[in-house]
Amino acid sequence: MADSASRSRRPTEGRTLEALGLAEAPREHPLLYPGAWPADSGLLHGDRLLPLDKLVHDDRVPVLAVGSNASPGQLRHKMDHFGIGSPIPMVKTRVTGIEVGVSAHVSRMGYVSASPFHAPGSVRELFVIWLNPEQLAVIDTSEGVPRPNGNYGRAWLPASDVRIELADGGTLPGAFAYVNRHGVLHNGTEAPRTHPGQRALLTELLLGSPRLRELFGVTPEQFCARARGDVRLCERGTRLFVEEKLVTVSGLEEYVRVQGT
């Protein structure tokens, strides 16, 4: 029997990702990271984002997306790689207690990605994606959760610490989030910095570090081109963040548990 997410309305004209400006995947276009996010909740089904008939899906796992996992184009790219075409509910929420920081690692996809950090009192809109076990395994794998040296751990953030409010006024008891095992970049003090988007971030990082320019070039375009697919170079960049004392803790480390898939 199909799960609740598959019992959706019939496809609607004009709801393709292309028509909505949501088709591009940062994995293919690193400078677009974190990718375009939807204007509102929807059901990602194939190359369409359809209306969503409910906000909570008890037969699925809620995952708070702080980076490209809120991009339909990126989600579709990840699922297509594993031949998975089942729909994914994407629910826009109001989150208190979390901000979007900068992961303290260079991704082999060619960008410096996002990671959440603890920010009491901070309020912002983020998406919760509701995943079935097969989809969750794909996202876990893409984030390196199953690997002891992977970049992210999957952490359960309880409602007592992170409030996730739905459009109908309801709240979730919590949600999973991917927390970077390397920590996050700071803002010049010991406080984490927020992620401003890929081009602005790389411009600032390169301007501030001659050693980073030696490794990755002097422009965001050069950075992405050199980093993309070069695992050893990405590892050197990750170590450089530590050596230049750019890294701090996210405040979410206590929640991280390595999850099997």
Mean pLDDT of the chain: 93
Contacts of 169 (CB under 8 A, 6+ apart): none
User: Any alpha helices (H) in the chain, and if so which ranges?
Assistant: 17-20, 72-81, 133-143, 198-208, 210-216, 220-227, 231-243
Is the pTM of the predicted complex or chain greater than 0.85? Answer: yes
| DSSP string computed for 4-29 | GGGS-PPP-TT-BHHHHT----TTTS
pLDDT-derived band at 9 (thresholds 50, 70, 90) equals very low
pLDDT tops 90 at residue 12 = no
Point out the least confidently predicted range of 11-15, 98-102, 123-127, 152-156: 11-15
Question: Kind of pairing, strands 152-158 and 48-50?
Answer: unpaired
- C-alpha 29/C-alpha 14 separation (Å) is 24
The 3-state DSSP class for residue 89 equals strand
Token pair for residue 31? Answer: 């400078």
| DSSP string computed for 214-260 | HHH-SSHHHHHHHHTT-HHHHHHHHHHHHHTT-EE--S-GGGEE---
Residues 212-238: pLDDT tens digits? 999 999 999 999 999 999 999 999 999
CA angle 215, 71, 256 (to 5 degrees): 70
Contacts of 131 (CB under 8 A, 6+ apart): 60, 61, 63, 88, 139
pLDDT tops 90 at residue 125 = yes
Q: Where are the beta strands (DSSP E) in 132-173?
A: 152-158, 163-165
